[in-house]
């Protein structure tokens, strides 16, 4: 049964976000032209999506500019804008990481490109092993006190790293993390054993990316056959590299076993994949990407879908041993990129 777009609290905070977030990784500023990108944002708004995720590094900072332009003229208080800092945005030694210098310069650049006075959620895009965590947390806290950032979060941090950040925040009176943004889908479940229980304990919610596994869970990639034309697997702007690890026959055969499960529920396989994520513990929102407005219209139909225990069990049986669960696979670079 499908309901209108729903909103959920993000972690142990008072912030509500739409349970489906539109993200513009890969697409805006690179894969699609600006007019198409604007159309996807407007389609998302029309469908009830209020949360939008981007990052300074996406499309070499262009993605933030595209999102800012697409949201221009909309009531700022009616949307939640998320962006991130960590990956290189220039050639300088300090144009990367989570040092105070880079973070302060990066938030100013992001605000300028997004054409806003503040972002609702600012996220550490990975853990920086070369910067003292106290320095990173103080920079976060200063941004909140300056009104440039309302809430803070992380992306792809381990349970131990999250716990350390929360401890520092408590000891030093800093603002607390409220979110983590990991990769999570039916095939990739590495957060379940450690990150999710830690987040539940400490008050973080998950805003997950790749709920459709880069499109593989849509069912359109068939074992033993070339990928469809104009699909992500044929995208030379980075999409093909991202999806290649899923294009194994054992994975694709398992995904085809999900098709009749989706049909029984009057869902597409992609809608089933998003709905599955939203039916898991500690999930605040699933980030979906779209290269055209029609994809937004289809993805939002996963909002409000309730999957029974029997359906969830059938999904696990269908996927079998192609599911990855090792928590050690949540990692950040061992040196700054």
Known catalytic residues are: 58
Please tell me whether residue 69 adopts helix, strand or coil conformation.
helix
Q: DSSP letters along 145-190, please? A: HHTSEEEEEESS--HHHHHHHHHHHHHHTPPPEEEE--B-SSSB-T
Q: DSSP letters along 252-295, please? A: HHHHHTTHHHHHHTT--HHHHHHHHHHTSTTEEEEEE--SSHHH
Asked if 76 and 150 touch (Cβ cutoff 8 Å), the reply is no
Q: DSSP letters along 283-313, please? A: EEEEEE--SSHHHHHHHGGGTT----HHHHH
Cα end-to-end span (Å), the chain: 45
How far, in Å, CA of 77 to CA of 308, rounded? 36
Tokens of 78: 């009616």
Task: Kindly give, in sequence order, each residue whose CB lies less than 8 Å from that of residue 158, ignoring residues fewer than 6 positions away.
Answer: 127, 194, 195, 327, 330, 331
Task: Kindly give, in sequence order, each residue whose CB lies less than 8 Å from that of residue 331, ignoring residues fewer than 6 positions away.
Answer: 156, 158
């Amino acid at each position: 049964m499908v309901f209108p777009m729903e909103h959920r609290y993000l972690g142990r905070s008072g912030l509500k976000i739409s349970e489906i977030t539109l993200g513009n990784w890969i697409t805006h500023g690179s894969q699609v032209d600006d007019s198409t990108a604007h159309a996807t944002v407007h389609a998302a708004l029309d469908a009830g999506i209020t949360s939008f995720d981007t990052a300074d590094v996406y499309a070499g900072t262009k993605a933030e500019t595209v999102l800012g332009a697409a949201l221009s003229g909309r009531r700022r208080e009616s949307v939640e804008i998320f962006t991130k800092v960590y990956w290189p945005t220039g050639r300088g030694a300090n144009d990367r990481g989570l040092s105070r210098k880079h973070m302060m310069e990066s938030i100013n650049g992001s605000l300028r490109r997004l054409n806003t006075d503040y972002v609702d959620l600012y996220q550490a895009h990975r853990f920086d092993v070369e910067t003292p965590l106290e320095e990173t947390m103080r920079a976060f806290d200063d941004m909140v006190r300056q009104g440039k950032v309302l809430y803070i979060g992380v992306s792809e941090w381990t349970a131990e790293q999250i716990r350390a950040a929360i401890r520092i925040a408590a000891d030093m009176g800093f603002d607390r993390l409220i979110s983590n943004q990991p990769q999570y889908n039916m095939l990739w479940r590495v957060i379940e054993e450690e990150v999710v229980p830690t987040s539940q304990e400490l008050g973080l919610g998950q805003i997950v990316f790749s709920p459709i596994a880069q499109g593989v869970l849509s069912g359109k990639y068939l074992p033993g056959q070339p990928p469809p034309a104009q699909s992500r697997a044929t995208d030379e702007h980075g999409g093909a590299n991202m999806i290649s690890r899923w294009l194994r026959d054992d994975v694709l055969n398992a995904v085809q076993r999900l098709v009749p499960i989706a049909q029984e529920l009057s869902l597409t396989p992609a809608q089933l994949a998003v709905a599955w994520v939203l039916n898991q513990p500690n999930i605040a929102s699933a980030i979906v990407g779209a290269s055209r407005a029609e994809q937004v219209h289809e993805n939002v139909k996963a909002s409000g879908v309730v999957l029974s225990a029997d359906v969830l069990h059938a999904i696990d049986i269908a996927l079998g041993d192609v599911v990855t669960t090792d928590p050690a696979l949540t990692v950040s670079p061992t040196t700054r990129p």
